A and B are shown apart, each in its own frame.
Chain A
Amino acid sequence: MKKYITLFVLSILPYATFAQNEDKKIDIDAVMLFDQMGEAIGELSAVSFHLSTITEVLDGDKKIENKYNECDVKMVGPDKLSVKQHSKDKHSAYYYNGKIITYYSFNENNYITVDAPDNIIDMIDFMHDNFSMDFPAADFFYPTFTDDIIENFNNISYIGLDLLGGEECNIAQIENENVIVKIWISDEAHTLPKQFEITYKKKDNLKYKATFSDWQLNPEINDNVFDFTPPASARLISVLMAKS
């Protein structure tokens, strides 16, 4: 109880420590927290984790419907990534081996393969820019995570500690005109993200929530995990660019 009273009193201090720069409110505790997490991620040479996501969408009657998705992500620095994702409507995977990236649809048994940049971050940018393809929780793995937040959000605040799934987490919140993002970062042995929740302010306040689990740090992952071998009768198809 004493802890929560202390937190309540401390909660007024941000008004003294917020930066007032170009209408931005930046809580330095949140920035330090993001830096800690960024440093932890930047030290990883390999990682795997599971991500469970819930996306709110409006159905035909304008009622909120939840879409669930499960992802398994594996990375080996600097140039290997695999993502397998499974939801009710979609079962797909990405395989990136440093040279090419393949997107395979299990539902349709077809795939696209394109030449890709030679590192994970450039590859993610490349796929997003050219094909509007996004990777789950990619923001957290950008080496400039904190600076990106500072640049793109006007409100950055540290909320405090709370338990999430039995794990003590620091909570921070960032906000701009489009979204509010609440981020839970583990306060236990590893300063890694535990959960984040995006509220889309201009889209009926619909939410997207993603929860990390099963973090494995610097595991040994064989290269063949990142190579795609087409299943029997799988078809290589063309792909349309998102931009002209």
Chain B
Amino acid sequence: MKIQNIHTHIKIGLVVLLLAFLNPIDLQAQRFSRGGGNASRGGASTHRSTPSRSSNMSRPKTTTATRQKSSINGGFNKSTSRNLPKKTTGSTSRLPSKTNNSGIKNKSTNLGNKKTTNLGNKKTSNIKNKSGNKINIDNSKKNVNINVNNSKNFHQNNSRNTRVNHSPRHYNRPPYRYGGRGYYCHRPYYYHPYRPFYWGPAWHPWGFFITTLATTAIIVSIENQKYHYDNGVYYVAENNGYTVVQAPVGATVQTLPKEAETVQVTETTNNYYYGGAYYEKDANGYTVVPATAGTIVPSLPEGGEETKIGDQTYVQFGDTYYQPVQVDGKDMYEIVEVKDEE
């Protein structure tokens, strides 16, 4: 029986050897075209496109004997249910024999200095989901519990004003991709820290509270909401005073502060920009409009939040993301067009 097995193997070997000589390209092609299933865990590289393993895939049963608590990975686990071939009688392992599997020996290399530090930094980052809501992650269960933080109501009240119109220009650059979304910009990412701009003594950031309005303030009503407008700033009455809110889309005013700038939306269209709000001019005055993706602005007001998105850092106002860019040597921001992608 053994002799018959050996003869069979020799025959198989000779056939394979013959095939290899006859058509090596086909053999290689066949090997490369085979495959299937998921690729390995994404941790194999820092390359973003490395395929990753789904976290909820079924895992084989593993030996649970001795989990080494101090091991860097809890100790090697080997499935007890592997369906592997047994070595054929007569065939020997091609692995070089080792007297010791690992050969690991302790070394007393000392890395780092001995002084102990007191970790005083316990403040953690705000974690946000795609809707812009702050969330808490229960990392013990790997579940995500959405906990919307409404502490900054002026953001929520004016969320409609953070909607972004599509860019009328074609994007020649590929988007930055993260989490199933593409972040499109006409200009390259050029990081500079977010430093809110101050437009002058008459200007106030969103959320600012005052008890009395200037006599120059006028009333603007949009969708049954009454706003008070003064020098490029919009207020709503509350708590026996007035709170600064984002400029309401659709509001029309006759004048803008002299610090208002023109920003280019398309080759033929400009917006007026002041205090983080965008205006279109027509015969009736200046009307607040949504931001248009691709528009470059020189500065941003308070109220934004620097947010790490993959490797890049954007400034986020509600649904509006601003990418830091550089134009003619000056630090500026481009409004990002965010698209859901496969």
Contact = CB atoms under 8 A, between A and B. Distances in A.
Interface string A128-149: 1111101111110111111111
Nearest to B177: A132
Contact of B37 (A41, A151, A238): A151
Interface string A86-108: 00001000000100101101011
Contacts of A124: 43
Among A44, A103, A158: residue with most chain B CB under 10 A = A44
Contact of B110 (A19, A187, A220): A220
**Majority-rule SS of B interface residues:** loop
Contacts of A238: 125-128, 305-308, 316
A244 B129 contact: yes
B62 A119 contact: no
Given A32-B93, A129-B55, A155-B35, A222 B114 contact: yes
A32 B93 CA distance: 9
Instruction: Say which size band chain B's interface belongs to.
Output: 35 or more
A187 B59 contact: no
Interface string B51-83: 111010101101000001111111111110011
A43 B9 CA distance: 38
Contacts of B148: none
Given A16-B88, A19-B85, A47-B72, A175 B32 contact: yes
Interface string A27-56: 011011101101111111111100001010
A91 B307 CA distance: 18
Among B76, B94, B95, B128: residue with most chain A CB under 10 A = B94
**Majority-rule SS of A interface residues:** mixed
Nearest to B122: A100
B252 interface: no
A112 interface: yes
Nearest to B138: A115
A137 B47 CA distance: 11
Among B35, B180, B310: residue with most chain A CB under 10 A = B35
Contacts of A208: 44-45, 47, 50
A139 B84 contact: no
A112 B43 contact: no
B4 interface: no
B2 interface: no
Contacts of A16: 9, 12-13, 88, 91
A129 B103 CA distance: 34
Given A180-B32, A220-B111, A114 B46 contact: no
B30 to A, nearest CB: 11
Given A113-B121, A217-B107, A239 B102 contact: no
B38 interface: yes
Interface string A63-97: 00000010100111110000001000010000001
Contacts of B123: 113, 236
A121 B59 CA distance: 15
Contact of A126 (B108, B113, B131, B139): B139
B93 A39 contact: no
Contact of B129 (A36, A180, A220, A241): A241
A170 B176 CA distance: 39
22 contacts: A12-B12, A26-B84, A40-B101, A55-B46, A78-B70, A103-B308, A105-B313, A128-B41, A136-B45, A139-B44, A151-B57, A177-B37, A198-B44, A201-B35, A217-B105, A218-B104, A218-B107, A237-B305, A237-B308, A238-B128, A240-B178, A244-B129
Given A139-B41, A139-B44, 19 more contacts: A15-B12, A38-B76, A41-B73, A77-B74, A113-B124, A114-B127, A125-B142, A148-B40, A149-B40, A152-B37, A152-B38, A154-B37, A175-B32, A177-B35, A177-B37, A178-B39, A235-B306, A239-B307, A242-B310
Q: Which 7 pairs from chain A and chain B are nearest by CB? A: A138-B43, A42-B76, A40-B102, A242-B179, A219-B109, A177-B35, A77-B72
Interface of B: 9, 12-13, 16-17, 31-32, 34-53, 55, 57, 59-60, 62, 68-79, 82-85, 87-88, 91, 93-96, 98, 101-117, 119, 121-131, 135, 137, 139-140, 142, 144, 178-180, 191, 193, 305-311, 313, 316
